[in-house]
């Protein structure tokens, strides 16, 4: 079976991004760095890659120059067990210029999109109780960072906290 490895194009921030991501996620490490020299020769632009592992998922980051930028068509989906996990990842990934977006989405300071989502969200939204699921969906649509207690309250129909 082939390996599927996300490959991220940065201008010149691949090392910095890999170091940040490895500092945030458990069981993460830099695996290798490679410098391919000046491309094209004489340009002064060095192309390099950083291969790193995020909790078991291999990722390659490329310093390829300013030709491309990230957009929401690609994101990392981080499924969290607790509100504390949601809060921790949200805080660390929005630090130093990151942006809160909507419905659990954010952009880190490099412009890469992340979805920070509690596992319970899927349970609530896929419930056979469609009215409760719809209330949870409407609550989620009003949020930037997902708040589990507010989702559960909306699901339960609690008018005080919805």
pLDDT tops 90 at residue 130 = yes
Same-domain status, 6 and 26: yes
Contact 50, 24 (CB under 8 A): no
Q: How many CB atoms lie within 10 A of CB 70?
A: 16
Q: Look at residues 12, 43, 66 and tell me which one is the last residue of a structural domain.
A: 66
Same-domain status, 75 and 148: yes
Same-domain status, 88 and 142: yes
Contact 36, 48 (CB under 8 A): yes
pLDDT of residue 48: 87
* This prediction's pTM: 0.90
CATH code of the domain containing 113: 3.10.180.10
Same-domain status, 62 and 109: no
Same-domain status, 98 and 145: yes
DSSP 161: T
Taking the CA of residue 148 as centre, how many other CA atoms within 13 Å lie in the half-sphere pointing to its CB? 16
Report the pLDDT averaged over residues 20-27.
Answer: 97
Contact 94, 106 (CB under 8 A): yes
Domain extent for 126: 70-162
* pLDDT tens column, 51-97: 999 999 999 999 988 889 999 999 999 999 999 999 999 999 999 99
Same-domain status, 96 and 57: no
CA distance 110 to 68: 12
DSSP 129: -
CA distance 83 to 113: 20
Same-domain status, 85 and 156: yes
Same-domain status, 3 and 29: yes
pLDDT tops 60 at residue 161 = no
- Tell me how many domains the chain contains: 2
Percent of the chain with pLDDT over 90: 82
Residues whose CB is less than 8 angstroms from the CB of residue 1 and which lie 6 or more positions away in sequence, other chains included:
none
């Amino acid at each position: 079976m082939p390996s599927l490895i996300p490959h991220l194009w940065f201008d010149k921030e691949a090392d910095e991004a890999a170091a940040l991501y490895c500092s945030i996620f458990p069981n993460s490490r830099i695996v290798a760095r490679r410098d391919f020299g000046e491309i094209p020769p004489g340009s002064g632009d060095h192309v390099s890659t950083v291969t790193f592992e995020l909790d078991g998922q291999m990722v390659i980051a490329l310093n390829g120059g300013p030709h491309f930028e990230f957009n929401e068509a690609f994101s990392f989906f981080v499924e969290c067990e607790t509100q504390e996990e949601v809060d921790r990842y949200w805080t660390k990934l929005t630090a130093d210029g990151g942006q809160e977006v909507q419905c659990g989405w954010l952009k880190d300071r490099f412009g890469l999109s992340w979805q920070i989502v509690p596992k319970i969200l899927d349970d609530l939204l896929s419930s056979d109780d469609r009215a409760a699921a719809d209330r949870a969906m409407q609550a989620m649509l009003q949020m930037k960072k997902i708040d589990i207690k507010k989702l559960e309250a909306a699901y339960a129909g609690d008018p005080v906290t919805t």
